[in-house]
A and B are shown apart, each in its own frame.
Chain A
């Protein structure tokens, strides 16, 4: 058998929480790649945030050696993110594989992401091996779930291994199936170099690291390589594999998965989906499927301490290397000073990035309410694209505005269809389609403004359907809409960072909800603070924060001064997170409060 015939490149796809990371851990353990004592739970989820949220954001490929019928097989597991925000990253890592293990929870059965990810794998021409997980649960119904997979997903599942990744039951069956069922990679190790970058990250010593799948040829230290999209040329300084920790090796050849370093200083030179070839003997056409990822949700990110602007810039640049989809450009706000307008793939992505800035770079930041990209058609015929409400031109210069819409597919048990339709209607949705996938699963399709989806649509959906419904969406172009900007005035002064763009029918209720919310968030000051919502010069809602009356008068018992000082120090810390708009101090969370408005209306 040739070297390449003993390689299997595969990934694991699943609905969230169906046990992907746990299975990955078991495979690593069972193949002896890591001794049990070295295992941390859910090893592949390397970031704190991933472990806390139980989701996988970054991809960590792992090479395992599996001994089967007298041969050592090289199994490359490429982990994939499991959230709708990261569809492009998933598709690129799928493109690096030949096979996909589809995990389905033995009690929950096929879920929305099961379907979405399975189809994504099918679209990428991967062989799919269904695996039924969590058979240790009392509510497990593996035979029914197998049938569900055949009926709903449409792939044979009768021979699917039934496992418990948690207990380690039947893991060997999975390993055998990987070797037996998945094809080995095709490719010519003597051909011209052709590699796919499916992920990247930054190493402080080695520079940008490309995670690659070699399709043809081979690459070793000293080779001159070229990035086909950016045209940049680099000398390879290191190649290696993950076991699952970094291990340099001599070369990577056709079929292999590993990493490559080349003293790549500039983060933007490594684009996920790009093709690497030889600079001396290049191929003509890159691998298909590259696209520049387009962020769809935007918000302002500002350092709490204005002096830390450069540190924030540095943090964003470092994060961007690990995350090709993050975009940012400098922005100035009257209220918040110097910061960045950042673009994200979705709300979860936004949340993850902002959390990482705070945790990994130890920076306190303020984020403004998320927004989408609007297309403003002006009366002079020009078209402006903008995401920042405060850059919206005055109404007299606007002919009309278009907003991005998505095609949303909501998967749900039939009894919630009514509630879902009500929600979609309320969110200005246009009904498209309703399909019964089987007797207890319906797909409801709507065209919805993206701007409405980012206003807690997901939470509302979950609460109205007791968590049974799931949402998947794709961008579906732009549509004309009656949009207005609602400004917030504090003590008569406009606070640019609190402006929002909304549909005119919703302006009053949002304006009212926003002023009420701010009244709760803004602490009392030494003087009264009026909060107004206005469209242009017309005030549509008003609340008042009454003046502070007292904040002290406690006894200092028996000379316990420390307790009192600690209390003040806490207040002082709180103050650091305050922003001054004119003479009004507002806490930084006020800027994100707009997001949670609809929650409170319910």
Chain B
């Protein structure tokens, strides 16, 4: 089954921490962009894609199916789009692909651009999962990172989605903002749990080079909580969520049973996904692609990346992704690619130290060590 990602690169304004493909010139560019995006979907054919022969070792063959079971509309701010445009995009996907029954169809929304009318429209288009960019329930923090909503608008947005009957709501929260303590963060989680939110993502604030935030932090080093404080917030709240019926199925993702994001799982398990739109990434039959991330190049169908994964890279990715999430690392998979992990000295050491644990043919990262998973991955890659 395929996953499809649609990128909507428009925002009302750019957040202070954002280093991704998004632009605030929606009026000027939108028409041209959407028609190019529709054309890109229209033109898609597997005939244009190769097969990475390394995958033959894993018993795989060239993908021909157009069956799709997850669609993810991300951005940017997809909720800025008018319903008719959204409808065109989804219809184009359905024309081209076979979107099966009960597919997971997600849209990312900013609390301030969501109305009940829009939300009802989403539901009628078949969207059944809404990911809300709440980020924080502290107004001061929201202002600091440059969001356009406040905490009451955030809670209102949740109510709007619930009113439509869409139950699968995900909320993003950022760890590492200025007023946070483990206790205050917990209060935010409690508020969300009371609202019967099924999925919560807690990301640590990444200071990306070249962003206004990076500039601010370079002059105000102590304004944000320290790394140690952030870890404390993360750890305490991970166990708080787990005590409240959430399962940590990935480093930063928590869900009630049955509400794990099926689309994100595709990223982590090496399944094929096709990204349409500016800067969108695809992974098809062992090859990674990325569209150009400026408009002109994108309109000319230029790629920013085409990467045929080598055997080593396939191994590295499987380790990296498998240890990030609850799906674990498949020892047989590594073996087929020629890596005998069980005789690796570092593997034995990590096993002995209870940093990883083994179950059947798979091994997993001990959840206590999720926050140092790079260290573990790098050790196993060596």
Binding site for B on A (CB under 8 A): 526, 546, 548-562, 564-565, 567-569, 571-572, 575-576
Contacts and interface: CB of A to CB of B under 8 A. Distances in A.
Closest 4 CB pairs of A and B: A550-B371, A549-B231, A553-B204, A551-B374
Given A565-B316, A571-B374, A550 B227 contact: yes
Contacts of B288: 561-562
Contact of B5 (A559, A564, A569): A559
Given A568-B320, A571-B374, A552 B251 contact: yes
B7 A571 contact: no
Interface string B296-312: 00000000010100000
Given A565-B316, A565-B317, A571-B378, A551 B372 contact: yes
B321 interface: yes
B380 to A, nearest CB: 10
Contact of B373 (A551, A558, A559, A575): A551
A562 B290 contact: yes
B234 interface: yes
A234 B171 CA distance: 83
B373 A552 contact: yes
A526 B375 CA distance: 8
B381 interface: yes
Contacts of B282: 559
A565 B372 contact: no
Contact of A550 (B201, B230, B267, B377): B230
B303 to A, nearest CB: 12
B273 A559 contact: yes
B382 A554 contact: no
A555 B381 contact: no
23 contacts: A526-B372, A526-B375, A549-B230, A549-B372, A550-B234, A551-B372, A552-B371, A552-B372, A553-B370, A555-B203, A558-B74, A558-B279, A559-B5, A559-B275, A559-B282, A562-B307, A565-B316, A568-B320, A568-B377, A568-B381, A569-B381, A571-B378, A572-B382
A192 B279 CA distance: 79
A529 to B, nearest CB: 14
B222 interface: no
Q: Which of B7, B234, B320 has the largest number of chain A CB atoms within 10 A? A: B320
A575 B378 contact: yes
Contacts of B373: 551-552
Contact of A568 (B74, B201, B316): B316
Contacts of A555: 201, 203, 206, 252
B316 A561 contact: no
Contacts of A559: 5, 266-267, 273, 275, 281-283
Contacts of A551: 371-375
Interface residues of B, number: 49
A527 to B, nearest CB: 9
B334 to A, nearest CB: 16
Most chain A beta carbons < 10 A, residue from B273, B305, B381: B381
A569 B312 CA distance: 11
A549 B374 CA distance: 11
Interface string B1-25: 0000101000000000000100000
B46 to A, nearest CB: 18
Most buried by B among A559, A560, A571: A559
A552 B321 CA distance: 13
Nearest to A564: B320
B281 A553 contact: no
Nearest to A571: B378
A96 B373 CA distance: 64
B371 A558 contact: no
Contacts of B279: 558
Contacts of B230: 549-550
B27 interface: no
Interface string B274-290: 01000111110000101
B275 A558 contact: yes
Interface in B348-374: 353, 355, 369-374
B228 A549 contact: yes
B323 to A, nearest CB: 10
Given A561-B321, A562-B307, A568-B320, A554 B74 contact: no
B281 to A, nearest CB: 4
A561 B371 contact: no
Contact of B283 (A561, A572, A575): A561
A525 B213 CA distance: 28
B371 A549 contact: yes
A561 B281 contact: yes
A555 B264 CA distance: 11
A548 B283 contact: no
B313 interface: yes
Contacts of B227: 549-550
A296 to B, nearest CB: 39
A403 B330 CA distance: 61
A523 to B, nearest CB: 9
Interface in B306-351: 307, 313, 316-317, 320-321, 324
B298 to A, nearest CB: 14
B381 to A, nearest CB: 5
Nearest to A548: B372
B321 to A, nearest CB: 7
A569 B377 CA distance: 10
B104 to A, nearest CB: 15
Given A553-B203, A558-B7, A559-B283, 7 more contacts: A548-B375, A549-B228, A549-B371, A556-B324, A558-B280, A561-B267, A562-B305
Contacts of A549: 227-228, 230-231, 371-372
B204 A550 contact: yes
Contacts of B290: 560, 562
A549 B225 CA distance: 14
A557 B17 CA distance: 14
Contacts of B203: 553-555
Contacts of B378: 568, 571-572, 575
Nearest to B289: A562
Contacts of B201: 555
B339 to A, nearest CB: 14
B376 to A, nearest CB: 9
Contacts of B275: 558-559
Interface string B173-207: 00100000000000000000000000001011010
A568 B320 CA distance: 9
Contacts of B371: 549-553
A122 B306 CA distance: 66
Contact of B355 (A526, A567, A575): A526
A411 B281 CA distance: 64
B171 to A, nearest CB: 14
Contact of A553 (B252, B266, B375, B377): B252
